[in-house]
Amino acid sequence: MGNQVRHLLSAADLSGEEISFLLDTASALKRKPQPLLKGKHLALLFEKPSLRTRVSFEIGIHHLGGTAMSLNANEVGLGEREAIRDVSRVLARYVDIVAVRTFGQAIVEEYAEFSSIPVINALTNEEHPCQALADILTLKEKWGDLRGRSIAFVGDGNNVAASLILTAASLGMDTRMAAPKGYGLPEWLVSEASARAASSGGKLTLVTDPRAAIRGAEAVYTDVWTSMGQEREAERRRIDFAGFQLNSDLMSGAALGAFVMHDLPAHRGEEITDEVIESPGSIIFDQAENRVWAQAAAVAFLLGVAHQVER
């Protein structure tokens, strides 16, 4: 069904320049919401639970004068009640843009292949690009220029890590990650992030020792050890991730005043302690807030109206 519609399925779908433009757009919209999406409609399809993604998309679209509706797995039955390609083509007759939260990346790719309107990945097992945009927007608000600033992700090489590493590496950041052996990022993503770091003037460091990744880092990020759908592996993962808990001891190796980041929901007391979540450096709830503006900017960008934003 080849068409020229832009989708956001992976953080790798955006160049470094486009990410910077999106971040500027998000900041401008946050300062001054503008009715760019009047008459535009967003549908959100959820095959997994959500708090932040659903509410932040709906509110973000509302801030820009558009409307949003959320549909859950039971209502749509993507690929079960109805073929993915049929759902995709039907929704495109009703709305202007769709965000899909589902399981494998192949599902959202198939959905997009048959879509004549933009499709946004609202989380798959492999990526979470909307989260990464909000995370980096949050750091940009704190630091201004992101180039050369250091961020260390400590934990599972999951969807959140994948999109974050791609995005940070695209922007010239000193990007580090520590995961236990066997829990690292996929090979293609490491190659892509390395290439992006090389061309943006950034750095990519992948290690298995969390202390090595965190040493002197200005922001430290973690996420759950067991993601949605991996619940049967939880016990094994608790053993394999021993030493990766983001606690005061581990944080003591970071730069003075380093920021603490987590995409939420957190398993308090597992990958991160209460003390660290509640510490002065924690910007976790700023990240959650910025989902609204990062996604609003992404929608405006994909619908071709982001250049109309007053900056």
From the list 48-56, 186-194, 205-213, 253-261, the region that binds ligand CP by CB under 6 A is 48-56
Q: Which is nearer to ligand CP, 91 or 284 (CB)?
A: 284
Contact residue for ligand CP among 3, 17, 32, 51 (CB under 6 A): 51
Give backbone dihedrals phi and psi of 104, rounded to 5 degrees, phi first: -70, 150
How far lies 151's CA from each of 2, 6, 216, 217, 254, in Å? Answer: 37, 29, 9, 6, 10
263 binds ligand CP per the rule CB under 6 A:
yes
Nearest-CA neighbor of 99 among 80, 112, 81?
112
290 binds ligand CP per the rule CB under 6 A:
no
**219-222: strand order across its sheet:** 203-207, 174-178, 150-154, 219-222, 259-262
Find the radius of gyration of the CA atoms of the chain.
Answer: 19
CB of 181 to ligand CP, least distance (A): 26
CB of 50 to ligand CP, least distance (A): 3
- Each residue 128-147 as x (binds ligand CP by CB under 6 A) or -, in order, gives ---x----------------
* Euclidean distance between CA atoms 231 and 250, whole angstroms: 26
Tokens matching residue 198? 């090389």
Q: Would you call 207 exposed, middle or buried from its count of C-beta atoms within 10 A (0-12, 13-18, 19+)?
A: middle
170 binds ligand CP per the rule CB under 6 A:
no
159 binds ligand CP per the rule CB under 6 A:
no
Contact residue for ligand CP among 7, 40, 52, 149 (CB under 6 A): 52
Nearest-CA neighbor of 145 among 111, 114, 172, 106?
172
59 binds ligand CP per the rule CB under 6 A:
no
71 binds ligand CP per the rule CB under 6 A:
no
167 binds ligand CP per the rule CB under 6 A:
no
* Euclidean distance between CA atoms 11 and 162, whole angstroms: 8
Contact residue for ligand CP among 10, 27, 53, 200 (CB under 6 A): 53
Residues numbered 264-283 forming contacts with ligand CP, rule: CB under 6 A: 264
Residues numbered 201-260 forming contacts with ligand CP, rule: CB under 6 A: none
Q: Which residues bind ligand CP (CB under 6 A)?
A: 50-53, 123, 131, 263-264
